[in-house]
Structures are given as structure tokens and as C-alpha cells.
């Protein structure tokens, strides 16, 4: 598959890409957009990055979009959608970093937020997802309908 075919085109693509990136608990971090293997902060698109915070994961996925106007629109829309989703349970939330960096937030909380945001969109991504994400999202959808 060519690079253009793997670029996210919708909010759903970005959310699923974030979920894939953060699926392993070791891939999630706090208080830095991204971290290297030694725990030091690094650029979210660096090849040395091995873990990301919630917004860092979003920036990593969005970094594959060549068109700056599209990247800006999808960044804004995705951030607004995630924040609105999180505010269903946390109405006082100011921003995503506040949620992601909070010491009481768990890795499962991050994945649950992404699952809920995907379900609320009611869209399918335009590019293939991992088997883990597909299975997890399917379970989440079934659970939400029960």
C-alpha cells in the first residue's frame, strides 16, 4: 500500500490510528508528547519515539498528512471530538493533556476514551486497522449496544 493510501482522511482514521499506536501499555506515557526508550522526551514523529501521551499520539498520526490545511482541520476536529467525548464524564475538563497527564488516569482510561470517541462518530476508518483494534472496537460496540 502506498504512503497516500495510509494517510488518515477522517477523524475515525485518526482515532483508530491513535488506538493502534497506544494499544500496548508500554506505548503510553505522560507529561511529554513522546518519549524514547530511555524515558527522555523526544519529538512525536522521531523514529526514536516508543511511547506517546494522548495528544502526542494524535500528532504522530496527523504527522503523516502532507497537506497542511487538511492536517489543521483534522487536528482541530479530532481534538474537539475527543474533548467533547471526555467531557461526558468529566465536564470540568479543560484540555486533553489534563486528562492524559492526570496521575489517576490509567492506560485503560485512554483506550476507553478512544473507543467511545470512535463509537460516537459512527464511522468506519478509510484504511485497514490492526486485528487488535478491530476486535477491541467490536467488543466495545457490542457492549455499548447491550
CB contact at 8 A, 49 and 42: yes
Out of 14-28, 79-93, 116-130, which region has the weakest mean confidence (pLDDT)?
A: 116-130
Whether residue 65 is predicted with pLDDT greater than 50 in this model: the reply is yes
pLDDT tens, residue by residue, 50-62: 999 999 999 999 9
Pick from 23, 18, 52: which is nearest to 35 by CA?
52
pLDDT tens, residue by residue, 73-91: 999 999 999 999 999 888 8
Whether residue 141 is predicted with pLDDT greater than 50 in this model: the reply is no
If you average pLDDT over residues 5-14, what whole number do you get? 84
Pick from 61, 58, 94: which is nearest to 79 by CA?
58
Query: Residue 65: enclosing H or E segment and its boundaries?
Result: none
If you average pLDDT over residues 26-33, what whole number do you get? 94
pLDDT tens, residue by residue, 125-135: 554 444 334 43
Query: Residue 100: enclosing H or E segment and its boundaries?
Result: helix 96-101
Q: Where are the domains of the chain?
A: 3-134
| DSSP code for 89 | T
Strand ranges in the chain using DSSP code E only, listed in sequence order? 34-35, 51-52
Cβ neighbours around 18 below 10 Å, total: 30
Q: What is the spatial distance between Cα 128 and Cα 87, in angstroms, rounded to a whole number?
A: 29
pLDDT tens, residue by residue, 95-111: 899 998 889 999 999 99
If you average pLDDT over residues 130-143, what whole number do you get? 40
Banded pLDDT at 44 (limits 50, 70, 90): very high
DSSP for 25-56 reads: GGGB-SSSSEE-TTS-B--TT-TT--EE-HHH
Across all residues in the chain, what is the average pLDDT?
Answer: 83
> For the whole model, what pTM was predicted?
0.79
The pLDDT of residue 32 is 95
Residue % of the chain over a pLDDT of 90: 64
Amino acid at each position: 500500500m502506498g504512503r497516500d493510501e495510509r494517510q488518515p482522511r477522517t477523524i475515525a482514521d485518526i482515532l483508530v490510528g491513535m488506538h493502534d499506536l497506544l494499544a500496548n501499555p508500554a506505548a503510553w506515557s505522560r507529561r511529554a508528547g513522546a518519549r524514547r526508550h530511555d524515558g527522555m522526551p523526544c519529538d512525536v514523529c522521531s523514529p526514536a519515539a516508543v511511547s506517546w501521551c494522548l495528544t502526542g499520539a494524535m500528532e504522530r498520526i496527523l504527522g503523516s498528512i502532507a497537506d497542511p490545511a487538511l492536517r489543521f482541520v483534522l487536528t482541530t476536529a479530532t481534538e474537539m471530538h475527543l474533548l467533547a467525548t471526555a467531557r461526558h464524564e468529566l465536564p470540568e475538563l479543560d484540555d486533553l493533556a489534563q486528562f492524559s497527564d492526570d496521575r489517576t488516569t490509567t492506560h485503560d482510561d485512554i483506550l476507553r476514551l478512544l473507543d467511545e470517541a470512535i463509537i460516537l462518530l459512527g464511522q468506519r476508518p478509510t484504511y485497514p486497522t490492526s486485528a487488535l483494534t478491530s476486535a477491541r472496537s467490536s467488543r466495545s460496540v457490542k457492549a455499548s449496544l447491550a
